[in-house]
Chain A
Amino acid sequence: MAENNQQGCLFVGEGVTLKGSFEVPDIASISGSLEGELTAKQIIIEASGSICGKVTGEMVDIRGELTENLTATRSLIIRSTGKVNGAIHYAEIEIEKGGHLHGDLHIINSSQGQS
């Protein structure tokens, strides 16, 4: 889906290592490894991908590994091969069977006033 329109997207291929702080307006697809801060609208961590650091996105889809800090303001999906360690803030979550979750979970109230 992302291949059709690559404007505002970040693709990190397998074997690539990135370090630093990244602001991505659209999709960030990570097959390699990333260290640092990542903010994107949609974040996809592929099975071979790994992120260590602070990750913020609207929709986050995890097939690979993520450590430290994750915020998903809309939806968070941890697939069966996914591994998440650390603090997680989410509005909506789904974990497939086999998914790995270790850490603190917090719900974000997207609509205030609703507990």
Chain B
Amino acid sequence: MFSRKPPIQEYPEVGNELDESLIEQVLDDAEDSPAEFSASPTCRKPLKPTIISEGFEFVGAITSEGTVHIAGIVKGVITAKSVLVDVEGMVEGEMTTDNLMLKGSVKGEVLCNELTIGPRAMMDGNISYQNIHIQRGGKVSGTFNKKRSM
């Protein structure tokens, strides 16, 4: 919307008038745009992922309504809508989540609906799931329980 400025250079002698009209135009645009901006956040959920980055060690409980992205180490209890354990990520403890994408390693109790285990992942413990998908190479051991669909 700011690309309308160049005309000023074409008529330098009437620059003042044009500037004023330009300002009005810009103001008009500015009045329009807040409406657009305020409309969009209501459409999408502004939930940003929680990130435990590489080299970070967390001991304790994590509770999130959104996504937890783990590239570091977490020891404790995780409750989240969705959990992604990255290649470098490590989790020790309890995990309750709707959607678990595992690329790193997990040790402990896992309760989830959708479980995806990547080719370089390691998993050990008691696992309850509804849907499972293990890609070739994923190392899993422990007790697996398929939950009845709710």
Contacts and interface: CB of A to CB of B under 8 A. Distances in A.
A95 B133 contact: yes
A107 B137 CA distance: 11
Interface string A84-109: 00000000111111111111111100
Majority-rule SS of A interface residues: strand
B135 interface: yes
B45 interface: no
A106 B123 CA distance: 11
Interface magnitude class on chain A? 10 to 19
Given A101-B146, A102-B146, A93 B140 contact: yes
Contacts of A75: 136
A93 B144 CA distance: 14
B141 A95 contact: no
Contacts of A99: 132-133
Q: Which of A96, A98, A100, A101 has the most CB of B within 10 A?
A: A101
Interface in B134-150: 134-146
B142 A105 contact: yes
B134 A107 contact: no
B135 to A, nearest CB: 6
B131 interface: yes
Contacts of A96: 133
Interface in B101-150: 131-146
Given A92-B136, A92-B137, A97 B143 contact: no
Contacts of A92: 136-137
Nearest to B133: A97
Contacts of B141: 105-107
A94 B138 CA distance: 7
B148 to A, nearest CB: 11
Contact of B136 (A94, A101, A107): A94
A94 B146 contact: no
Interface of A: 75, 92-107
